[in-house]
Amino acid sequence: MPETGTTMRAVLFHRKGDPAVLACEDVPVPAVPPGHVLVRVEAAGVNFADVVRRAGDGYPVPTPLPYTLGTEFAGTVARLGDQVDQHAVGDRVFGLVDPVTSGCYAEYVAVPAMAAYPLPDWLDPADSTALLVQGLTAFLALRDGVRLAEGDSVLVLGAAGGLGSLAVQIARELRAGLVVGAASTPEKLALITELGADDAVNYSEPGWVERAVAATGGRGFDTALLAGDREVIAGALGAMAPFGRIRLLGANDPGALVVDFMAEMGAGRLSANETIGFFTLTHYASPAMWPEVGVAMRTLLEQVRGRTLSPVVRHRFPLAEAAAAHRQIENRATTGKVVLIP
């Protein structure tokens, strides 16, 4: 392994704004506190939450400036802090960092040793980042959020994105009876059906809700994972069966999550006794939940190794092109996972 120097390249922003505020700079390599490991980053995941945080549009955690984005990493252990015995220098690892601290858009990141999962030899580092925020959210939102039962029908908005593309496949593994994905272009619809969805609808076209419901025989969906524009989310509320279970996962703007449910009832877009709520990984961030998260991650790894789950990583950008990656996401020009390669 190359010798670790004292400086590294990292992407920072000194003020919030458009993608142009992201700059690749020389900064000190992080110190390695006790109980931590220093990881040489080989892949850093990019999520829509990073775009929201950079723009300053309602991200729920304060952002100290200057700041380095990124919560997902994969790479090799370069240095050990004191009191670390579960890893060795040279180990391949992947995992999540606390979004309160600076992140993974960098050549090195210091992380708690407990937060670094062993990265199997057969798994590409970039593919592994897809299993973290997006993979865990998809799996846990289906299993714990909407409590998907065998035979249930499920609607997935944004089904060609990093999260949605995994949710379609995981729903199949959880024995959903019907999986319908929604996206905005013919190319994305083709990917959704390639991933195993029973049907795919274009939510940029009039009448998409009716076409989605038709796939259920007119009954509506038992469960739904919703993300996107306010209008699309509101429209999807009308696609549910009585007692439908909905989880909101994110939005293209914070206002999209502020849905006036009384108004939607008046518009006739809510079915009887729907259960609607938000789903985030925050509940699983406490140390008490780490064993449960570990079980979920092992399940995802088993599915990938068994070829029943395929991470879709179609956009790999050099670290210095983080701004271009953000522009692509903002322009909805991506499918699957977006990754930076230091």
144-172 pLDDT, tens digit per residue, is 999 999 999 999 999 999 999 999 999 99
Q: Residue 299 belongs to what H/E stretch?
A: helix 290-305
Domain regions of the chain by residue span: 7-132+292-340, 146-278
Q: Which long-range contacts (CB under 8 A, 24 or more apart) does 121-124 make?
A: 121/92, 122/305, 123/301, 123/304, 123/305, 124/313
All residue ranges of the chain with pLDDT < 50 are: 256-257, 266
266-284 burial: b if 16+ Cβ within 10 Å, else e: eeebbbeebebeebbbeeb
Residue tagged 């007119």 (tokens): 218
Residue 216's pLDDT is 98
Q: In this structure, which CATH number among 3.40.50.300, 3.30.2010.20, 3.30.300.30, 3.90.180.10 belongs to the domain 7-132+292-340?
A: 3.90.180.10
CA 269 to chain centroid, in Å, comes to 28
For residue 252, what pLDDT is reported? Answer: 57
Report CA-CA distances (Å) from 198 to 31, 135, 148: 50, 21, 17
Res 318: pLDDT? 99
Per-residue pLDDT at 63: 92
Which pLDDT value is given to residue 268?
56
In 3D, which of 115, 23, 72 has the Cα closest to residue 339?
A: 72
Quick one: pLDDT at residue 217?
Answer: 98
pLDDT at 106: 98
pLDDT at 255: 52
Q: CA 168, CA 159: separation in Å to the nearest integer?
A: 7
Residue 311, preceding peptide bond in cis (omega within 30° of 0) = no
Class of domain 146-278: alpha beta
**7-132+292-340 against 146-278: fold identical:** no
Six-digit token string for 169: 């496949």
Residue type, 228: G
Residue 259: what pLDDT?
A: 57
pTM as predicted: 0.92
pLDDT of residue 267: 55
